[in-house]
Structure 1
Amino acid sequence: MAAEVQPLPLVRGPPGPAPLTADQSYWKSFKNQLLLPSPHNSGVTSITIPDFKPTGAQADTFAVTSGSRVQIYNTKTRKLVKTISRFGVDDTARSGALRRDGRILLAGGDSGVVQAFDTGSRAILRQWRGEHGHKQAVHCVRWNPKVLTDLMSVSDDRTVRVWDLTEDVAKWTGIGHEDYVRSGCYLPGQDGMIATGSYDQTVRLWDTRQPGNARPALTFKHAAPIENLLPLSSSMLASAAGNEVTVLNLIAGKVEHIIRSHQKTVTSLGVGENGTRLLTGGLDGHIKVHNTANWQVVAGIKYASPILSLSVISSGVKETTREDRHLAVGLQTGLLSIRTRLAGAEKVRAREKTKRMDALIAGEADDYERKQRKKDMRQGIRARDRGKDYRGEGADLIVDGNDRTRQKPLRPWQQSLRTGKYARALDQVLTPDRTHGFSNEDTITLLTTLRHREALRTALADRSEAQLLPILRWILKNINHARHVKTIYEVVMVLLDLYSPRLAAWQELEDEDAKDVLQLIKRIGSRVRKGADYAGQACNTIGMMELMGLEVG
């Protein structure tokens, strides 16, 4: 019998590219790459950003260390704002780190010297070297995230030291590593706890509140030398050893997960998307983005040369609303790569520019411009100018002058001020009518203007007791406002200079207005004395806190 004829299998073409995931789209949005060469083509070994502080002054800069200098860049403009190169001829700078207020830069070096620089003048504020310093290269220095004057350093002499910016001798020294110590960090939310990584293949946790030369509180053994450490939370720590990244659970004292996504040594670690993504960079030129929920790779970026350092630079005031702005990567070839994530109006402009360029390449530029004009007409952008177009022969030509915005009518006190009637303007702003209303800003504006015109004495002179009452009541009401202290102080001094000779006469009068004036003056004096007492107590408290080593502010 003949064999059964089987139907031919369908010929299927190769599958197309898979659609981008949300994470891939997010990290691909870091565009507009800026490549900056280092001064001597030395590898970019460190990129650090100041520790974030929810309140208070916050620096808009980041530090890049390469060769024998540390460069400071502005996070908003991506431009170089300062270069610090006060290192030895044969020295190499290491781990330049800005304090969170951006005023002091800390740096180590191959000579073993730890230095603190004033970023404004580039002056050396402090050096730790010689008998009381490290004996070999210092590859990592870090600021205490809570105490502005505390810092740590780790060295190839196998020691870990904690310093006070105002002292010449280390306040704490940790001894226990058996090889070079190349990485270290403070643990957030854990006062006095630091972690260090060494080429003896261990990560050690130290309690710096214990006496110096104490043994480590916890030790984790790895399979390769430790290249970098990154705290993920108060209880989680990521360590890069060889081509693996180990996530350590510090409370349980065990390994939480081991990430094996690189082919070569992992040199740098970073966090993005408010701590929900872990970034790893290695000598294979890859940056891998991992989801911290399951530690799976969700995105990646390839560079042309080995990666030595990386940092995700965020922008925003509040920690919960901070957004990733730049991805800064330091390469072994000496290039600093800064990719910026476009947002808002910048993103819209970039999208329109891309569409226009695609239409030009495809030979459809005229069609694209025609569609854009129609779109603009629909949105009313050009509709407002339709009456001004030249329509050809016989059309009416209309020349419009500059449109002048209609000014608001002046208030009565503003009219009096314009005509030089200062006393009347002050009366009007303190006793307004029902038509024009009254606000505290009007009074402050008028008094400030009178100060600048040196007309305050003219406005306050020759007043009766009844005319003094409104200004005294206003002073009593606003004397506790810190923003108005300078203005109120000058008003009070002028009033005392003008009317102090009449105080004795007012005390003998039976007039109700005179009694009210005296009563208001006494209340103002009492309020001033109470404020001075509060200020003295605050100064004493601040002094005691500084003696105890506590941070003020």
Structure 2
Amino acid sequence: MEYQKLVIKKNPRVLYKETPEAKYWKRFKSPILIKEYGSVTSINFSPVSPHDFAVTSSARVQIYSSKTHQAKKTISRFKEVAYSGSFRQDGKLVVAGDGTGLVQMFDVNSRAILRTFRAHTMPVHVARFSNDKAHVLSASDDQTVRLWDIPSESSVHVFEDHEDYVRAGVVSDDNPNLILTGSYDQTVKLFDTRTNSSVMTMQHGAPVESILMYPGGGSAVVSAGGPTIKVWDLLAGGRCIHAISNHQKTITSLAFNSSGSRLLTGSLDHHVKIHNVQDYKVVHSIKYPAPVMSVALSPDDSHLVAGMANGLLSVRQRQYKSDEKASQKKNRDYIGSGTYRYFMRGQSSTAEAADFTVEGRRRAKLSKYDKFLKQHEYHNALDAVLEPTQRQGALVTAMLQELMHRQVLVSALSGRDDVSLEPLVTFLIRHINTPAYTNLLVDVSEVLLDIYGPVLGQSPLIDDLLRKLSRKVNGEIDLQKDLIQAMAALDMLFAKSTTSSSTTSTIATAGTAEEVKAS
């Protein structure tokens, strides 16, 4: 078993320090609130610049400009509530489902209906373009998932494995044959169009509201259901590798930033939280005035948009720094594979403070007193923390507490001369009236007197220190007595004033009664 270091208790300190992460997300300033006609159920950014975004609310899909934040196109060719308006990879087409079960494809510029896919019998909450641009994915409350061929307007694959509403679905960016769906039957399923069946099922444990595949061809996927997000490893057979519950209510929406290093979650508890995907700790949180139904981050990380249940649309824009713009331009202009610069890339790169560095396991370096404790040399361990360079209140009391816990305090204090006793007694004199240490140091003082009581008077140094300790304790006792007397006197004054006021009130009441009787 590995040795556990001595735990030094620290009193809580109220200290606020803004982290670089918080500073970054606080640069999304000047939130613009836009009122829609109904709940904002979906937000989707165009993959191409200038990254306009489609907002689905009520019975329409509106295309907002990322520059002016104004609606520049409105698609309202729906008979009932519209859902999941999303762009194709070239930003020229939009697909959306509605409450009647229709899936329609529109031209962004003319807003004309180009294709209509009819087969679902209940509302369609998921409508997405496949990465091959030739297919559309849809998922419906009729418990089916369909993959449509755009030219023929026919469904080429139908999956009926779910047992409840299907409210989430994505097509893999790297392999268009793989489809991931989430349902209110509390499962996440992976379908393969080559086998036309489900090849993997993961139990989330709550109705699934949203799912994402990690960008960059990773095997991990994220699902959101209830107040919990779960991360699954597909290569490990759908094993859950993380389960995080940082929200108080149901999580309704998931989004990644452009690099896939941060995961955004929107919830009915009015919060959008940003998680670091390395450890899934919350690095920042944003509160909104209403339950969050949808959240999205632009591909260039410049706009953060959230839609709420009361119809409010919040648009936050981040101002770029000059060096950040130059870095993004460098990444866009970077030479591809097969060139000399490609093979020489990274030669001059240096790690940044926020980078994750894989290091070898280092053996913990023990302090001097920990080495003595590990070797059960308790006498020397106590001496080590009483040295002038180490004599800190928290450290010494932690050592004394540890010795008492191991029931070796008597052996650590025994067999000492006046020179080795002097640092301990001096420490007791200095800190015995410190409220955080008083109970412990009183017990230590009693043990010390039990051990060295029979030999008092043999060392003038120790006798003088013990007299100082006695005066310190007696002074504290006298102070406590004076405080008790003062509190008692105040209690008498308060009681007397209360009695006097009640007597005055009684006399006044009696006088009033006499006046009424006389009249």
In the TM superposition, 1:196-345 aligns within 5 A as 196-210=181-195, 214-233=196-215, 234=217, 235-253=219-237, 254-272=239-257, 274-315=259-300, 324-344=301-321
Aligned to 1:441: none
1:148-163 map, 5 Å: 148-163=133-148
**Secondary structure of 1:26's aligned partner:** helix
Give the drift of 1:101: 1.8
In the TM superposition, what are the counterparts of 1:44-443 in structure 2 within 5 Å? 44-50=40-46, 52=47, 60-88=51-79, 91-129=80-118, 133-145=119-131, 147-210=132-195, 214-233=196-215, 234=217, 235-253=219-237, 254-272=239-257, 274-315=259-300, 324-344=301-321
Residue aligned with 1:270, SS: strand
1:161·1:172 contact (CA, 8 Å) conserved in 2? Answer: yes
- The answer as to whether partners of 1:186 and 1:194 remain within 8 angstroms in 2 is yes
User: Counterparts of 2:54 and 2:323 in 1: how far apart (Å)?
Assistant: 26
Contact 1:139 1:183 in 2 (8 A): yes
Task: Report how far residue 75 of structure 1 moved.
Answer: 2.2
Alpha-carbon distance in 1 for matches of 2:256, 2:152: 33
SS at match of 2:22: helix
CA–CA separation in structure 2 for the residues paired with 1:294 and 1:204: 25
Amino acid at match of 2:313: L
Inter-partner Cα distance in structure 1 for 2:49 and 2:31: 25
Question: Aligned to 1:25, what secondary structure does the other structure show?
Answer: helix
1:354-390 Cα shifts (integer Å, max 9, x gaps)? xxxxxxxxxxxxxxxxxxxxxxxxxxxxxxxxxxxxx
CA distance in 2, matches of 1:260, 1:150: 35
Distance 1:298 1:83 in 2: 36
* SS of aligned partner of 1:171: strand
Return closer, same or farther for 1:26/1:160 CA change in 2, 3 Å cut-off: same
Letter in 2 for 1:65: T
One-letter amino acid matched to 1:225: P
Alpha-carbon contact 1:140-1:184 (below 8 Å) kept: yes
Q: Do the aligned residues in 2 keep the contact of 1:155 with 1:182 (CA within 8 Å)?
A: yes
* CA deviations over 1:374-426 (Å, ceiling 9, x no partner): xxxxxxxxxxxxxxxxxxxxxxxxxxxxxxxxxxxxxxxxxxxxxxxxxxxxx
Quick one: which amino acid aligns to residue 89 of structure 2? R
Shift of 1:164: 1.4
Q: Which amino acid aligns with 1:136?
A: M
* SS at 1:23 equivalent: helix
Amino acid at match of 1:166: P
Structure 1 counterpart SS, 2:315 = strand
Kindly indicate whether the alpha-carbon contact (under 8 Å) linking 1:48 and 1:96 is maintained by their aligned counterparts in 2: yes
SS at match of 1:295: coil
Quote how far apart the aligned CAs of 1:175 are: 1.4
**1:188 Cα deviation from its structure 2 partner:** 2.4
Give the residue type in structure 1 aligned to 2:71: L
For residues 76 and 58 of structure 1, the distance between their equivalents in structure 2, rounded to whole angstroms, comes to 11
Offset of residue 223 of structure 1: 1.1
The offset of 1:127, in angstroms, is 0.9
The 5 Å alignment of 1:500-539 reads: none
**Separation in 1, partners of 2:190, 2:262:** 24
CA-atom RMSD in angstroms: 2.1
Segments of 4+ in structure 1 off by > 3 A? 13-17, 344-347
Identify if the C-alpha distance between structure 1 residues 345 and 35 changes in structure 2 by more than 3 Å, giving closer, same or farther: farther
Equivalent pair of 2:45/2:299 in contact (CA under 8 Å): no
CA contact (8 A) 1:95 1:108 kept: yes
SS of residue in 1 equivalent to 2:175: coil
Structure 1 alignment gaps of length 5 or more: 1-12, 316-323, 348-553
Q: Is the Cα contact below 8 Å between 1:58 and 1:101 reproduced in 2?
A: no
Note if contact 1:59-1:101 (Cα within 8 Å) is conserved in structure 2. no
Equivalent residue in structure 2 for 1:37, among 32, 35, 38: 35
**SS of equivalent residue, structure 2 residue 302:** strand
Structure 2 counterpart SS, 1:217:
strand
Shift of 1:84: 0.4
Helix, strand or coil for the counterpart of 2:110?
A: coil
1:265 to 1:19, Cα distance in 2 relative to 1, 3 A: same
* Aligned residue number for residue 453 of structure 2: none
In structure 2, how many angstroms separate the alpha carbons of the residues matched to 1:177 and 1:267? Answer: 20
Structure 2 equivalent of residue 458 of structure 1: none
Q: Secondary structure of the equivalent of 1:151?
A: strand
Identity of aligned residues (%): 43
Counterpart secondary structure, 2:101: coil
Aligned residues: 312
Instruction: Say if 2:251 and 2:267, in contact at 8 Å, map to a contact too.
Output: yes
1:184-213: CA deviation from partner (whole Å, max 9, x where unpaired): 001221231010000101000001123xxx
Give the whole-Å Cα distance in 2 for the aligned partners of 1:249 and 1:345: 38
Name the counterpart of 1:28. 26
Q: TM-score, normalised by structure 2?
A: 0.58
CA shift for structure 1 position 15: 5.0
Deviations 1:239-291 (A, max 9, x none): 00111000111111200100110010000001125110011110001111111
Q: TM-score, normalised by structure 1?
A: 0.54
Q: Is the 8 A contact 2:51 2:299 kept in 1?
A: no
SS for the counterpart of 2:259 is coil
